[in-house]
Amino acid sequence: MLTGRLTGQSALVNVMISATEKAGRALTRDFGEVEQLQVSRKGLGDFVSTADHRAEKIIIQELTKARPGFSFLLEETGAIDGTDPEHCWIVDPLDGTLNFLHGIPQFCISLALKKGNEVVAGVIFNPILDELYWAEKGKGAFLNQRRLRVSGRRHLDEALLAIGTPYQQQAVVNDINYTGRLAGKVAGIRRFGSAALDLAYVAAGKFEGCFATHLKAWDVAAGILMVKEAGGYACDDRGGQDILNSGSVLAANDHLFDPLSKILIG
């Protein structure tokens, strides 16, 4: 794990990293015994396991101990009002649950801090690969200790993109339409099953861009900040900045954001 090996981040981000890593250890143990987990279904293709709940509980405990007044917005528990409504933790304890339950190591914990209406810090952690992405507003984005920069590719026919394909029937129809718009224009399209990691990969230059709809704030809050701090751009599916409330995101490097916007948004 990474605590103690990073330098340059604030005390607040240290708190976030510590909580995320502790929850990540629990997820790693559960991943090794995934067949023993209790799993329930929230909806078609939408599952929650004891691993989700356990990781979320750890994060709540660790963050409350460090910053007792802050509020929470959590995927499994919902909203928890604190005495300090100006600060809100936005938490997805396990983004990529379906991957997790099938033994695919493409999942993460996503944690962001919103101050007022602005996300000011974010952490995305894949505990299986020991990859910790983190960002602070105005201070850059990082993978472990390495500063991140979005891809420098300038041409769509060189671009590798991630497209989110949710399980809702109409959403799948919509995303097939979006994928069709890109066919023949880009080098490749991937669907990895974790919106948070897709955004982290855009920040790291692994993807030139990503696009997804039918999301929640906890899916994207940390990743949006990372993309922007790494020199990229992001908007919702109407071209605006109400990403946390819109349920959609288009993120890309600085060269391909405009052409992708024209294709996917119009």
Tens of pLDDT, residues 179-228: 888 989 999 999 999 999 999 999 999 999 999 988 999 999 999 999 99
Directed axis angle between helix 11-31 and helix 50-66, to 10°? 160
Distance, CA of 163 to CA of 168 (rounded, Å): 15
- Report angle CA 168, 188, 266 to the nearest 5 degrees: 65
What does the pLDDT look like over 153-171, one tens digit per residue? 999 999 999 998 665 555 5
What pLDDT does residue 98 have? Answer: 87
Query: What 3-state class would DSSP assign to 201?
Result: helix
Give all domains of the chain, ordered by start, each with its CATH number.
11-147 (3.30.540.10), 156-264 (3.40.190.80)
What pLDDT does residue 175 have? Answer: 63
Residue ranges of the chain whose pLDDT lies below 70: 1-7, 37-49, 165-175
What pLDDT does residue 41 have? Answer: 52
Residues in the chain: 266
Q: What percent of the chain has pLDDT over 90?
A: 74
Q: How are strands ordered across the β-sheet holding 78-80?
A: 78-80, 70-74, 84-95, 108-115, 118-126, 131-136, 140-143, 146-147
* Nearest residue to 200 via CA among 168, 155, 241, 234: 234
What pLDDT does residue 40 have? Answer: 54
What pLDDT does residue 37 have? Answer: 66
